[in-house]
Amino acid sequence: MKNIALFGICGKMGRSMLSELILEQDIKIVAGFDRINIGTDIGILTGREISGIKVTDKYEDIKAAKPDLVIDFTGPEVVYKNILWAIESKTNIIVGATGLSKEEIDIVKEKAKKIKSKVFIVPNFSIGAVMMVRLSSLAASYFDNCEIVEMHHDKKKDAPSGTAIATATAINKKKNFNALKFLSDEKETIEGSRGAFSDGIHIHSIRLPGLLAHQSVIFGSKGQTLTIKHDSIDRSSFYAGLIMAIRNIDKLPNFSYGLESLIEI
Ligand SMILES: NC(=O)c1ccc[n+]([C@@H]2O[C@H](COP(=O)([O-])OP(=O)(O)OC[C@H]3O[C@@H](n4cnc5c(N)ncnc54)[C@H](O)[C@@H]3O)[C@@H](O)[C@H]2O)c1
């Protein structure tokens, strides 16, 4: 039995994942962390019977529940603090929340080397998105340039998405497409028109109601383009990857990044 503390339990991802996790035989939710609905029984969050476990915003309460594992679906403003707390508390953590800077990830990686517990950062739990990144890094060598368009629901707080940044990093390991954001004769007449720039790749972020999580990686060469596209049309797309991460985190090194750490492709 794995005892889990779910952070961001009252959010869209927290609730969606909770409603599936409580059905698993080998998992027990022992604590729920959030800044809203404090004191609410977590059973009520999924429309089920009272569980006796109440939402808290206090690390002490989480520690007292003795979780084997923290799963974090909070957001950019608190996720880094939560990871550092999990490291200090020697508790394994799977980080689903996005918005960590590269510098923060590097610091976490360094700290994780010196600890016994594990940090597993997974910017995208959907298997299709992992395939999209892998296929993109395969295609990279054969094209002259690449740009990423990511589209998410309008409540997403960070931009560009963690998946877009991770895709650019993966592609850059195969090919560095651009040393600089702008060509020597290129000029933005409206600032931001060419998007963000990460690992030599332009990233364009769209936020609209009606969307969930979508990304196109577009490669271009003389006379042709190749688009590798992935769509998450329902939050259930993230569950298979999450449960895989929960069941396999013990086999991973102290620090791992991306669901591809668990998938042979
Ligand atoms: N890894 C993945 O596959 C994946 C998939 C979808 C979303 N996400 C990420 O998961 C995170 C959550 O997404 P969401 O759509 O559920 O957002 P959301 O805003 O609906 O939920 C976030 C929850 O965290 C809580 N929270 C925020 N700041 C807090 C703080 N300081 N203290 C305590 N609780 C706090 C909020 O109250 C809220 O209930 C985002 O970072 C999002 O990008 C990851």
pLDDT, tens only, 165-197: 999 999 999 999 999 999 999 999 999 999 999
pLDDT digits (tens, 9 = 90+) for 210-238: 999 999 999 999 999 999 999 999 999 99
Confidence of residue 47 (pLDDT cuts 50, 70, 90): confident
Where in the chain do CATH 3.30.360.10 domains reside?
A: 127-233
Confidence of residue 50 (pLDDT cuts 50, 70, 90): confident
Q: Which two tokens stand for residue 212?
A: 């969930």
CATH code of 2-121+236-261, in short, is 3.40.50.720
236 close to ligand 1 (CB < 6 Angstrom): no
10 close to ligand 1 (CB < 6 Angstrom): yes
CA of 2 to the centre of ligand 1 (A): 22
Q: How much is the pTM?
A: 0.91
d(CA 219, CA 226): 5
- In this structure, which topology does domain 127-233 adopt according to CATH? Dihydrodipicolinate Reductase; domain 2 (3.30.360)
CA of 122 to the centre of ligand 1 (A): 13
Where in the chain do CATH 3.40.50.720 domains reside?
A: 2-121+236-261
Please identify which residue in the block is written with the tokens 């409603």.
19
- Catalytic (active-site) positions: 152, 156
CA of 201 to the centre of ligand 1 (A): 26
58 close to ligand 1 (CB < 6 Angstrom): no
Q: Which amino acid is at 171?
A: I
